[in-house]
Structure 1
Amino acid sequence: MCNHVGHRRAPSIYCILPPHMLKEIAKNGTPAQRSVAIDTLATDHSFRQIRSVQSVLLAPKRGSAVAPVPAVPSAHRTIYTANQTETLPGTLVRSEGNPKSSDISVDEAYDGLGSTFEFYLEIFHRNSIDDAGMPLIGSVHYGQQYDNAFWNSQQMVFGDGDGTLFNRFTIALEVIGHELTHGVTEHAAGLLYSGQPGALNESVSDVFGSLIKQYTLKQTADKADWLIGAGLLASGVKGVALRSMKEPGTAYDDPVLGKDPQPAEMSQYVNTAQDNHGVHINSGIPNRAFCLAALDIGGHAWDKAGRVWYETLNDSHLKPNTNFKSFATLTVSNANRLYGSGSAEAKAVGTAWKTVGVL
């Protein structure tokens, strides 16, 4: 599959926990919870500020040797521990092929990176994030009770959570798949991280994060939970996950976290300057469209609906500033191309977008 090298944007920070949720905690939580939320927000902001500088310093020098791509694609994973500091990558604790450690976070990160690599290779014949054998790096135990996980264009980083609102951020496979898929989108399409293109960026990560979990569990679309961050909310929190692709706006309703703000259709689209103009909020609309299409088509969601979305992500007509309607039109076009004009699959995709009010 041809990647849009020319579309690739400057490296960014993509966090699984949206700022609006952290701001709710900073407003409604206990003093300890508020302190953790404020620290997490500050850390996320600082990382975004220094990222552009790091990308220049760490970029390969012109004329420098480039490691050859292995003839047979294979995962190359390294897991580090930051030891509750904010220094990356930290201390190496597990490399590719090493046995399990005594640290569940290390092993969950290792397995999650492996499941993501396997999914993209087996289903889409994609050789890692960049389709060129990119090594997969993860750092666990980042910061003090850090309530987030993120992809920084070079590696995955996982916080331990505060234990009262959030569990360890390695606990949900779809979160790992979500974050690594931001890397795929960077290399394939370079969707701008703001407004509707940014919400599509987030939605694509949710789609493939969910598919990675479904593929690992060998679930059909009707058996999947369609949740992002299942198991991440600590005991006592009123909610089931960070987001629901099947029913956006229903994932949580908690005195501290607030209520899930995701809309399920365009009539509920949220116009806001926060969260890069609502990238984590309005992603609920394309999320639901994919879920509806996958359920309508039936079977394993990665086989047909997932293929349509992946082909669209790599479509030369997909531009960095693509909006919902343009993306939806491309998915219908690709479904017609893949499965035949007027096919049941193409009709399912078109109907899904019409149901959420995009087409």
Structure 2
Amino acid sequence: MTTLTEAAESGSTQTAESAESTAYAILDIAREQVLEGGEGLNEAQLLEILTLPEEAIPAALQLAHEVRVRHCGEEVEVEGIISIKTGGCPEDCHFCSQSGLFDSPVRGVWLDIPELVKAAKETAATGATEFCIVAAVRGPDIKLMNQIKFAIDRINEEVDINIACSLGMLTQRQVDQLAEWGVHRYNHNLETARSFFREVVTTHTYEERLETCQMVKDAGMELCCGALIGMGESVEQRAELAAQLAALEPHEVPLNFLNPRPGTPLQDQPIMEGKDALRAIAAFRLAMPRTVLRYAGGRELTLGDLGTREGLLGGINAVIVGNYLTTLGRPATADLNLLVELNMPIKELQKTL
């Protein structure tokens, strides 16, 4: 005869088994839908990935890695970035120390063309295939566009590397010019979900960002459109962002984790937990099985060396090496040595100009 205690223990065991089965059910669905069918998870499904129990994270990362290899291949793309104009930006992106509206230690600095060419050469020497020129502006004026044209010409004369740009919001004429000059890829991040956007930016709209992204795609340039997570958004908004990026179908998604900067409105925001960052890596890969998913800013602080390794084995297939725009990254050699250790081949340059 079963006692009340035995019945309670049995019920507790069955409940635990049921909960574990439910927790992993989304991974079975993702294996069939994403790995086998090549169709990314929808927003509701992504929320399930983002709320998986901690013990399920390794399984989610393993599946994301399998998806990456199946749909993107084994190669890892390496990129370096440099700012032609740092600081003094008129926009109020609450995470950014380059805004001229905040009491930030970052001050306006312009690089000259020889410095850009030198940086491009140094970037190419690491094995990188992409060099991104960034400017902290709302959008480029004619002076900046002329400098970009001159820089592109000089870099192409001396360095064998693809050139990308990130110059803020563009007009149709500027999009057409960049495409004509051979810009390989244009970066314009959504940063966060539509429903959270006004919490972190008020000087321009989510729709304005989308407009530039669409013009870039229509002009035939590759669109690099990234995310910055850990800004105080809810886990539901994180799923929303992944789904909105997937709908945009960018070629590349840089995945940034907030590194709270002094003087910005988000300076006191807690650093995102590593386990949540790993859940996000898996979710973004399962949302976009064929997209280049790039490690970007904040990973050193949020994930550390061990987490960086786990992410590379969990769906990441591109990295920014060296320093970021206003924060320090890992030494390029550290990332390159890690790729070698993990037997991840670096993508060879395929010039598009």
TM band (smaller chain): under 0.3
TM-score normalised by structure 1 residue count? 0.24
Larger Rg, first or second structure (1 or 2): 2
Higher strand share: 2
TM-score normalised by structure 2 residue count? 0.24
**Which of structures 1 and 2 has the larger relative contact order (alpha carbons within 8 angstroms, sep 6+)?**
2
